Structure 1
Amino acid sequence: MVKQTIQIFARVKPPARKQQSGIYSIDDDENLTPCLEIIIPRDLADGFVNNKRESYKFIFQRIFDQDAKQEIIFENIAKPVAER
């Protein structure tokens, strides 16, 4: 039996037409672990004091941007699993 860790991937979905586009950045340096940072701007309706968190960072094995085609996702994730 082959021992392998669970791998977690992310794919950034393009926003719907009516949906406000989110602010995100992808740190995909070869020497570092890929990191997805999501930024939620402060809402002015909350008033002057706003202690809500604005930035969330998540680490993945690989992050696919909005431009990634389904074929690329399959080649990188599903095909290696199916071949094993």
Structure 2
Amino acid sequence: MVKQTIQVFARVKPTARKQPQGIYSIDDDENLTPSLEIILSRDLADGFVNNKRESYKFKFQKIFDQGANQETIFENIAKPVAERTIYSTHAN
């Protein structure tokens, strides 16, 4: 049995038309773990002094942007898992 670590992926989907557009950036340097930074602008109604964070940064094995379709997601994430499952079932 091959031990595998848990992998975490992200997919950035377009927001609904009624919601304000979020600002994000994807750092996909080949030498680093891909990271996604989400920037939330401060709400002036909260006043100038507040303790809200404006930037959140998360790391993932792979990040798919708004252009990724279901087929791309399946080919990169689900298909390899299914193939490993089939292979390990037949190997036993």
Instruction: Give the structure-2-normalised TM-score.
Output: 0.88
Q: Which has the larger radius of gyration?
A: 2
Runs of 4+ in 1 over 2 A off after TM superposition: none
Identity of aligned residues (%): 86
- 1:44-55 to 2 correspondences below 5 Å: 44-55=44-55
RMSD: 0.7
Amino acid in structure 1 at the alignment position of 2:65: D
For this pair of structures, how many residues does the alignment match? 84
Output the CA distance in 2 between the equivalents of 1:25 and 1:54: 13
Output the CA distance in 1 between the equivalents of 2:72 and 2:26: 18
Q: List alignment gaps of at least 5 residues for structure 2.
A: 85-92
Relative to its length, the structure with more helix (as a share) is: 2
Instruction: Give the structure-1-normalised TM-score.
Output: 0.96
Amino acid in structure 2 at the alignment position of 1:9: F
